[in-house]
Amino acid sequence: MDFIMYDKLLQLPLFQGLGKNEFTRILEKVKFHFHRYPQGTILVREEDSCDKLMFILDGEVQSEAYDTTQKYILQETFRAPHILEPYSLFGMNPSFTATYTATTEVSLLTIKKRFVLEQLSNYDIFTLNFLNMLSNRAQTLNYRLWNTHIGNTYEKIVNFIQTRCISNNGPKTLYIRMEDLADLISETRINVSAALNEMQAQNLLQLNRKRINIYNLHDLTESCKKLKKKIDR
């Protein structure tokens, strides 16, 4: 393995903090599988069994989650380095919650679940990184769920999107009818339309028929916070 790849692996979230000697010992015991996929390849499908950790080392992927009951589709874009759903590796339903497709050529590293249990769990730093990642996600989702229907229409829309997104950064695309969105956040269609058009006027998103293109969720979230502070004064 060349030094560039070696350093890149040490920068991955679950390996950060490990010394090079520790990481060398890991490489001797754990099988790392490297893959390269062309643009357009489906890396994993929604509801596929999650039996390994999957790290995006280079390139860009798009996730697509489809809710058949509530009739919407949510797409997100992720750039390397990124790990695909580490929280889906365990639990009552260890399966992926979205379909992931390579939007550029992608380099991928996979580690089977049994190596996580038998070898990687022996390293305190890896275990702590994993637990922190899971805990941060659980705490963030808990906070958002408590605030699902609190605030003005603007805040409800942002929280609806945040709660369903994996990352709070980057572009998102939500395919949904405006009346369905209004029902899901307990608002009127008129209020939802007004709030979305205000966001579009601020150049935070673009409205199309049954589609909302969000340029960067972080910018949308920050705009919502500023609006709340202004209203609370």
Conformational region of residue 189, where left means phi above 0, alpha means psi within -120 to 50, and beta covers everything else: alpha
Given a cut of 90, is residue 10 above it in pLDDT? Answer: no
CB 174 within 8 A of CB 212: yes
The mean predicted confidence, pLDDT, of the chain is: 90
pLDDT band at 233 (very low <50, low <70, confident <90, very high): very low
Give residue-wise pLDDT tens across range 174-191: 999 999 999 999 999 999
Looking at residue 151, what is its pLDDT?
83
Percentage helix, strand, coil, to 5, in the chain? 45, 25, 30
CA 142 to CA 136: how far, in whole Å? 10
DSSP per-residue letters across 50-67? --EEEEEEESEEEEEEEE
Rg of the chain over all Cα atoms, to the nearest angstrom: 20
CB 159 within 8 A of CB 147: yes
Give residue-wise pLDDT tens across range 83-109: 999 999 999 999 999 999 999 999 999
CA 178 to CA 4: how far, in whole Å? 48
Give the percent of the chain with pLDDT over 90: 70
Given a cut of 70, is residue 163 above it in pLDDT? Answer: yes
CB 84 within 8 A of CB 100: yes
7 residue type, one letter? D
Looking at residue 145, what is its pLDDT?
77
pTM: 0.87
CA 169 to CA 66: how far, in whole Å? 20
Looking at residue 67, what is its pLDDT?
87
